[in-house]
Chains A and B, each alone.
Chain A
Amino acid sequence: DAKTTQPPSMDCAEGRAANLPCNHSTISGNEYVYWYRQIHSQGPQYIIHGLKNNETNEMASLIITEDRKSSTLILPHATLRDTAVYYCIVKPYNTDKLIFGTGTRLQVFP
């Protein structure tokens, strides 16, 4: 089962930052946090991942708390095309499978 907890849905105004939280209180020291998103029924799209340091790429920023029990995905300037289901996934080091939960459905409105 998924080791993460995410709110089922969130709204965000276009052009504003979208901050998507994720709780992973049982995360182990060698487990990474991955974020993917799924637009409609398309294939999951990789966004970003991290271990303990904050990460940033061209799509988003990932903020991981110091105790690693939660993280926040930040889309700095949300657009309508960012409307999707966002999945926070903790992948154990000793398995190669991604376990998807139900994610957060982000609705970006004009």
Chain B
Amino acid sequence: EPEVTQTPSHQVTQMGQEVILRCVPISNHLYFYWYRQILGQKVEFLVSFYNNEISEKSEIFDDQFSVERPDGSNFTLKIRSTKLEDSAMYFCASRAGAGGQETQYFGPGTRLLVL
């Protein structure tokens, strides 16, 4: 069964450093997402991406964040200058498209720890 994959599974970084989280969405999916979950809190939407453009983003997704689909398979989330409060699980998701009710499938997540 196809699935979303994410690398790395864990990332430790120093405050102020740049990090890139990588995701390989399900093949042939057209819509891509990043969510995050701070320890003990709710899963929060960050951004959605379609046709090489951001289609929707939350207030959390400020200028420190960016997303990119550098090739036909990867989808990345970059945090330019990490803060302590960026420590969280980051989940990538994808959906096939063709209609607003198609299901989003999530990856296993990357645990980011900012020291």
Contact = CB atoms under 8 A, between A and B. Distances in A.
Interface string B74-95: 0000000000000001010100
Contacts of A21: none
A102 interface: yes
- Secondary structure type dominating chain B contacts: strand
B56 A43 contact: no
Interface stretch (A3-11, A12-20, A70-78, A93-101): A93-101
Interface residues of B, number: 26
A100 B101 contact: no
Interface of A is mostly: loop
Contact of A49 (B56, B101, B106): B101
A44 interface: yes
22 contacts: A34-B103, A41-B109, A41-B111, A42-B109, A43-B4, A43-B91, A43-B106, A43-B107, A43-B108, A43-B109, A46-B103, A46-B106, A49-B103, A87-B43, A93-B100, A96-B31, A96-B100, A97-B48, A97-B58, A98-B35, A101-B42, A102-B42
